[in-house]
A and B are shown apart, each in its own frame.
Chain A
Amino acid sequence: MKKKSYLLVALLLLLGLILTACGGNSSSGDTTGNTGTGGDTTTGDTTAPLTCSDAIGCVEVGPDDPILIAYMLTISGATAFLGEDSRGGIEIAIADRGGKLLGHDISLTGEDTLCNAEGGQAAATKIAANTSIVGIIGTSCSSEARAALPTISGAGLVMISPSNTAPGLTNDDPATEGTWQPGYYRTAHNDLFQGRVAAEFAYNELGARTAATIHDGSPYADGLRKVFEDVFKELGGEITYAGAVNVGETNMSSVLTDIAANAPDIIYFPIFEPEGNFIAEQSGDFAALSNTKLMGADGLLSASFPEATGAAAIGMYLSGPAVSGDAYSAFLTKWDARFGGAPPSGFHAHAYDATNMLLDAIEKVAQVGADGTILIGRQALRDALTATANFNGLTGVLTCNATGDCATGEALAIYQVTEAEVSGGNWPPPIVWQP
C-alpha cells in the first residue's frame, strides 16, 4: 500500500513539474487590480498644492523621487534575445535624454515575462501592485500581452509593446477574437500586414502555388499563419497542410512526414527557436522536400538562428522588420558603444520609439508643482498616447489609432539567409524584397 501511494505522489509531482515547466511561475489569486487608486502611495510632499482630477487616478512623484518606468520583457530562456534586444532600445532611449525627465531621474525596473501567458500574468500582477510605476514598455510576446492586459488595463496603466504583432491585440471586437483594452499600444507592426507580405512574396515573387503552414500554439504564430493562409488562398494558392508542433519538441519527423506525403512549394513556419531550427534542419532528411522552400517570420529573425541551424538554413526566407535611415545608423553606433556588437533581434528600434513616445506623453501631461513634485494623470496619459500623431521615430512616422496600433507597417521586408550568416559574423541577412 505504501509503495502505491509513493508512486502516486511521484506521478503527481511529475505532473506538477510538467505544468510548471510550461509556466515558470504562475500567478495566484487577486488579479483584477485596484482600479483608480493610483496617486496616494508615493512619499511625496504633502503640502504640494497639486490636485488630481483624473478619472482613474494619478501617479505622484515626489521632489526627489525618480519617474518609474517598467519593462515587461522575456529576458531569460529560449526567447531572451527578443527581450534583451528591446531592453537595449529602452535603455538607449533613456540615456539619450541624459536619464532625466522634467528634472527627475528616469528609473527603469522590470519583470521577466518568459514569453508565455503565465509569465505575462505573473509579471502584470507584480507591476500593477507597484502604484508608483507610470508606464510600461512591453510585452515581448503576444501571448504575454493577452494574459497581462486585463490586469494592466484595470490598474490604469499604459503598456506600449515593441514586439507584439498578433492582430487581435489591437482589435476591440471580441466577436472576431479581439482582446484590446484601454491602455494598450504598440509600435510593432500588426501581423495582418506581415502575414500578407509573406503570402504575397511567396505567391507572386517565388511562384509558389501550394503551401504548408506550421504553428506552435502561440497567438503570434497562430495569428500569422492564419493571415498567411487567407491571403495565399485569396491569391489562388492551395494550403496542403496546416498543423502545429509543441514547444519543446525536438523530433519533427512526424509533422514533416505528413507534409512530405504531399510536398508543397513552400513551408511557412512563423515560430521560434529552437523548434524552428529543428524543422529547418530536419526537413533536409526528406527527399520529397528537396525542392520545397522554407519561410519563417520575425520570431526566427535573430543572428543565432542561422548559426545554430547550419547549412540547412541557407536560402531560407524570413520576414521581419526592416529599419533604415541615418537616425537608425546613429542608434546602431550607440548600441555598439554601449553593449558591443549588433542588436540580437529586430525590435530594438521599436522599443526605442515606444520609450520616446511614453516619455513625450508623460512630459506633455505632467503637472509640475512648485517644489518639483509631479502629478501624472493616468487617463490623461492614455489620451496623450492615443493622440500621438506624426511622431518621427526610427521605425517611420507613427500615428496611433483608437485601439493602439501606432505602426504603419512600412518597415517590413523579406530577408534571405546566405552562407555568410551561417558561418557567423554577418547580421542581418540581405533584404531580397520589400513591399
Chain B
Amino acid sequence: MRSRYFDNISWVSLILGILRIVILVLIVVGAYNTLSSGKYSAEAWVGLIASGLAQGSIYALIALGYTLVYGILLMINFAHGEIFMAGAMTASFLANSFARSGFLNQSPVLAIFILLCFAGLVSASIAILLERIAYRPLRGSPRLVPLITAIGASFFLQYTFRGLYGSGFQSYPGTVDALKGNLTIGSLQTPITLTQVFVFFCAFALMMALYWLVERTKIGMAMRAVSENKEVAALMGINIDRIIVITFALGGFLAGAAGVINGIYRPQGVFFRMGFFPGVKAFTAAVLGGIGSVPGAMLGGLFLGLVESLGPNLVLEGLGIPGANQLKDAIAFTMLVLVLIFRPQGILGERLAEKKA
C-alpha cells in the first residue's frame, strides 16, 4: 500500500510540496521574529496596513481594466498602464488650475468628482481609440500578435505624452484641506490618514459601480455573454464590436479615475513613464486574483498592496535580510510566480480550460 502511494507522487509534486512548506515556515518564522522583537508599535502596523490597502485599491482599479479586456478578448492589454498615465497626466493640469482658483478647497467633493470624470473620459477615449486603431484590425489573428501590438502601443502612448507635455515632472496640488490630518475615532487618533480613507472608499465606490454594471444591467449581461462565447452571443443579437468598445471604455475610465486618485494620494512624480510600474503591478494583481474575474481583480489588488506593504517589514526583516524594503517589488513578483505554480487560475479564477479553451 505504502509503496504504491509513493509511486503515485511525481517528483515535481514532491518538490512543490516541500517548497510550499518551506515558504510557509519562512513566513511564520519571519513574522514571529519581527513581532517578538517588539521593534514596531501597533500604530506602525496599522499605518502599514492602511498604506497597503490604499495602494492596493489603486492597483485594483487598474487591474480591473486588464481583467475586463482579458475576460472578453482573451488578450492582455499591456498598454493599459499608459491609459492610466494619460488620465493622470492630463487631469493634473485641471487639478492645478482648480487649486489655483481655490475651487478645490472650497468644494472638494464636486471638484474631485469633476476631476475623476474628466480623467476617466480622457482615458476612456484613448482606450477606445487604441481598440479601434490598434486591436480591432488584428482581431482573429494569432494571439501573440495583439500582445506585441499592445507593447508597441504602450511605447507609442508614452512618447506621445512626452511630446505633448514634456519629459519633466508634473505634480498634483498638495493635500486638499478637507483631507488633511488623520482619522480620529472618538478621541483616539489613528495613524490612518484621511487621504488613505478617501482613496479606499473612492476606489471601493467605483468598483461597486462596476460590479453592479456587470452583474445587474443589460450591458453587463451582454458583456458576460460575449465573454462566454462570442459566436453564440452574436447569434443572440448582441453587437460584439459595441460590447468590446464598451469594455475598453469601462477599463479606461477606471484607469483614468485611478490616475486622479493616485494623484491625490501621491501628488508627485506625474510623468510620461509613470504608468509602467502601476501597470505591471496591476497586471500582477489581476493574475493573482484570477484574470478574467472582476471580484478577483479587486481582491488581487488589495492583496498585492498589503503584501507589498507588510512583507518587507514583517517577514523579510524577521529573517534578517538587509535592505528589506528594497525587495518590495521582488516580493510582489515572487507572489505572482507562487500563485502561478500553486493556483494557476488565481485566487478567485475559474479554471480556464473548462470555460474558454
Contact = CB atoms under 8 A, between A and B. Distances in A.
- State which size class the interface on B falls in: 35 or more
Contact of B325 (A9, A10, A75, A243): A243
Contacts of B326: 217, 243-246
Given A253-B309, A255-B325, A285 B268 contact: no
B237 interface: no
Given A6-B144, A308-B169, A273 B269 contact: yes
Interface string A235-258: 000000001111011110111011
A78 interface: yes
B268 A278 contact: yes
A249 B357 contact: no
A435 to B, nearest CB: 31
B266 A278 contact: yes
B267 to A, nearest CB: 7
B198 to A, nearest CB: 14
Given A10-B76, A14-B283, A255-B325, A308 B147 contact: no
A62 B317 CA distance: 64
A304 interface: yes
Interface string A73-88: 0011110110000000
B28 to A, nearest CB: 20
A389 interface: no
A310 B171 CA distance: 10
B328 A254 contact: yes
Contact of B144 (A9, A78, A262, A273): A9
B78 interface: yes
Contacts of A18: 280
A356 B47 CA distance: 53
A281 B167 contact: no
Contacts of B329: 246
A307 B325 CA distance: 27
B345 to A, nearest CB: 11
Contact of B151 (A17, A274, A285, A310): A17
B302 to A, nearest CB: 14
B277 A248 contact: yes
B143 interface: yes
A311 interface: yes
A397 interface: no
B147 A9 contact: yes
Contacts of A277: 171, 268-269
Contacts of A10: 76, 147
Interface string B157-189: 000001000011101011100000000000000
Given A14-B78, A274-B169, 9 more contacts: A6-B144, A10-B147, A17-B78, A17-B151, A76-B162, A246-B328, A253-B52, A254-B325, A278-B268
Interface of B: 39-41, 43-44, 47-48, 51-52, 55, 76, 78, 143-144, 147-148, 151, 162, 167-169, 171, 173-175, 191, 193, 266-269, 271, 273, 276-277, 280, 283, 308-309, 312-313, 317, 323-326, 328-329, 340, 352-353, 357
28 contacts: A9-B147, A17-B78, A17-B151, A21-B276, A21-B277, A77-B167, A77-B273, A80-B167, A243-B323, A243-B326, A244-B326, A245-B325, A246-B326, A246-B329, A250-B266, A253-B47, A253-B48, A253-B51, A254-B325, A260-B44, A273-B169, A277-B269, A281-B267, A285-B193, A307-B171, A308-B171, A308-B268, A310-B267
